[in-house]
Amino acid sequence: MSGEPPRPRRPGGALSSEPRPEETPKNPPVEPKAKPVEALPFLLDFFPLEGAKETRLSRFYERLREGRVSTTRCPRDLELHWPPRTACPKCHSEELEWTDLPEKGRIYSFSAVLAGAPLGMEAEVPYAVGLVDLEGAPLRLFGRIEGRAWNALHVGESVRLEPYALPDGRWFYRFRAAD
């Protein structure tokens, strides 16, 4: 999957607090202008619509554009969520705050898709995926692992969490193994 390199992270580092999800940002998000490249029918496209019109979690995708992979946290019980949420599953508060995730993590387990890729991902085969323990946060995230062939990856090795742009202007996140 191609995409421009992630933008530099904002100063301030991990776990900085941000406005809660429903707050209107000062700079409204830039809606992708270009039509999706080789657009899939909406109901076969795994990548979600990211704008404030479509999701209450549009801040997540805005922050990806700023170079930050983030999630929500409940200020009441300090529960760190994944994926980001609009209501805390523990205390059901809807007053949540945004916080950046650590950049570094270690592979807990991985595999690769060598056959049987979903529609639109066939050209990416073989691709590696894994579960990664983030360093400094009690989260194990699943994601694509780029940067190295699947058969040169190792359980326990360090990878970096990074945002990336899709050709159609949407953003998502993935892991990158060191070269």
Among 83, 92, 178, 179, binds another protein (CB under 8 A): 83
Stretch that binds Zn ion, among 26-34, 68-76, 125-133, 160-168 (CB under 5 A): 68-76
Residues 78 to 137 in contact with Zn ion, rule: CB under 5 A: 79, 88, 90-91, 93
The secondary structure of the chain in percent helix, strand, coil, rounded to multiples of 5, reads: 10, 30, 65
Nearest to 17 by CA among 65, 66, 73, 68: 73
Q: How many CB atoms lie within 10 A of CB 98?
A: 22
Distance CA 147, CA 39 (A): 26
- When CB distances are held under 5 to 8 angstroms depending on the partner's kind, the choice from Zn ion, another protein, none that residue 155 binds is another protein
Chosen residue from 91, 111, 136, 167 binding another protein by CB under 8 A: 111
Q: Which does 76 bind (CB under 5 to 8 A by kind): another protein, Zn ion, none?
A: Zn ion
Question: Any contact of residue 129 with another protein (CB under 8 A)?
Answer: yes
Nearer to another protein, 124 or 157 (CB): 124
Closest C-alpha to 170, from 53, 77, 26, 50: 50
